[in-house]
Structure 1
Amino acid sequence: MSTQPITSSRFHITLPTRTVFAVPDGAGVGIECRSGTVWLTLDRDPRDIVLEAGERFDGTEHRRILVSALTSSCITVSDAQPAAMPLSQPARAWSPWRLRPHGLSPA
C-alpha cells in the first residue's frame, strides 16, 4: 500500500477594482492580500474583514467567502477545495470559482 503525500493547493488571483471572487467553502482556506485592499464577507457572519497588503485571513467554518477588491489587488488563495457540485445544474455549466465585477459600497 502506497501513501500519497498531502499537498496544499495555492494560487494567485489579480482582482481589478470592484471585482468579487467567491470561495464556495471557506473551511481551511487561507486568503492573503499581496497588494491592494480587499473586503471579505462571510455568509451569516456580521463582521466586515478588510485586508491590506501583507495581511491574511484563515477560514475556519464551512461558509462562502466573498472577496471584494476595493482597489486593484492581488490575493493568494491556499488550501482551497472545490465545493460539491449542485445536482440541479449540468457539470459543463458549473464552476466552483466565480469572478464577477460588481459595484461595491462599503456602507
Structure 2
Amino acid sequence: MSSSTTPSPSAFFSSSTSRFHVSLPNRAVFAVPDGAGVGIECRSGAVWITLDRDPRDIVLGPGERFESSEHRRVLVSALESSCISVSDAQPAALPNPASRAQARARSPWRLALHGLSPA
C-alpha cells in the first residue's frame, strides 16, 4: 500500500474525553499539526513517531504511550497495520504569536516565499 494512504479515524470520538482512535494501514502516516499536550497510545501493531526538528526515533508497541510537550508537528507512521489512540495528555499553553512572527522575520527562510533561498 502506498505511503499516501489516508488513515480514517474510527467512528469513535468522545468529546468528553477528547480521545479518538485511528486505524492505520501498513506504511500510512497520521499527522498532528501541533503536538503540545497530545498523547498517542499504540493499541495494536507498531508505530514510529517523529517530531519536527527532533532527532529522536520513538517506536511504540501495543500498550506504549508517548506524550508531547512541544509545539511541533508530530508524524505517526505505521510500521505495520496498527491502531492508535490520540488524546489530550495535558493542557498546554499556546505559543506567543508575536514571538513566532518575530522568529519568522529573522529566519533566512523567509526569503523562500519570494522565490529566494538563503546563501
The residue type equivalent to 2:72 in the other structure is R
- Check if 1:38 corresponds to 2:59: no
- Check if 1:75 corresponds to 2:84: yes
Identity across matched positions, percent: 78
Structure with the higher helix share, 1 or 2? 2
The residue type equivalent to 1:52 in the other structure is G
Residue-pair matches, total = 74
Deviation at 1:29, TM superposition (A): 0.1
Question: C-alpha offsets along residues 44-70 of structure 1, whole Å, 9 cap, x if unaligned?
Answer: 000000000000000001000000000
Instruction: Map residues 10-29 of structure 1 onto 2, 5 A cutoff.
Output: 10-29=19-38
Q: Distance in 1 between matches of 2:71 and 2:17?
A: 18
TM-score, normalised via structure 2 length: 0.60
Deviation at 1:79, TM superposition (A): 1.6
Moved over 2 A (4+): none
Gaps of at least 5 residues in structure 1 are 1-6, 81-107
**Highest relative contact order (Cα 8 Å, sep 6+), 1 or 2?**
1
Q: Distance in 1 between matches of 2:82 and 2:52?
A: 22
Which of 36, 43, 49 is matched with 2:58 structurally?
Answer: 49
Name the Cα RMSD after superposition.
1.2
TM-score, normalised via structure 1 length: 0.67
